[in-house]
Amino acid sequence: MSFFKDASPTGGITDLIAYLRERRQYNWFFWAAACLPPAIMVYMFQNDMAVKSVPPPPKVVYFESWPADRTREETIKDITARQAKKDAFLEEKRKGYEALGRAMGMDVEEIKREAEQIRAEARAAAAKAEAAANAAASEPANTAKGAVK
C-alpha cells in the first residue's frame, strides 16, 4: 500500500490539464490517437461480455404422444412410414457421398464392390459362428461318472 500513498487522482488530472493547455501543433491529434485504441478495446470487451453473458435459450424437445387405444395396425403403419422416410434420407445421403467421390476422382463403383465383399465375408463369418454355436448347443453333455473337463 505504500506505493499508492503518493499517488492522487487530482494530481494526475491537473497534470493532464496542464499538458493539454500547452500549445503544440499536433497536441489534440496525438491525444485523440492515444485515446482511441483503448476506447475501442473497452467497447469491444463490453460488447463481447454483453453478448456472451446472456445464456442461450433453452432447447425445447418435442415428442409425440399417441393415444392409448391405438391399434397394432396403426402402429405398424406409422413405423413403416417413418422407416420409409429414413431410408429415403439415407439414400439421398449416399448419393451425395457418391457424387462427392466422383467429383474427387474416386472409383465409386470399385469402392461399392469392395464394401459389398466385406459385408458378404462378415455375413458368412457370422453364419459360420452361429452354426458352430448351434452345433455345440445340440451336442449331448458328457454325463459319464468321473469325466473331467
Mean pLDDT, rounded, for 59-82: 89
Q: What is the pTM of this model?
A: 0.41
Give residue 97's identity as a one-letter amino acid code.
Y
Residue 95, all three cell numbers: 448419393
SS3 string, 8-76, reads: CHHHHHHHHHHHHHCCCCCHHHHHHHHHHHHHHHHHHHHHHHHHHCCCCCCCCCCCCCCCCCCCHHHHH
- Identify the pLDDT of residue 145: 54
Q: How confident is the model at residue 19 (pLDDT cuts 50, 70, 90)?
A: confident
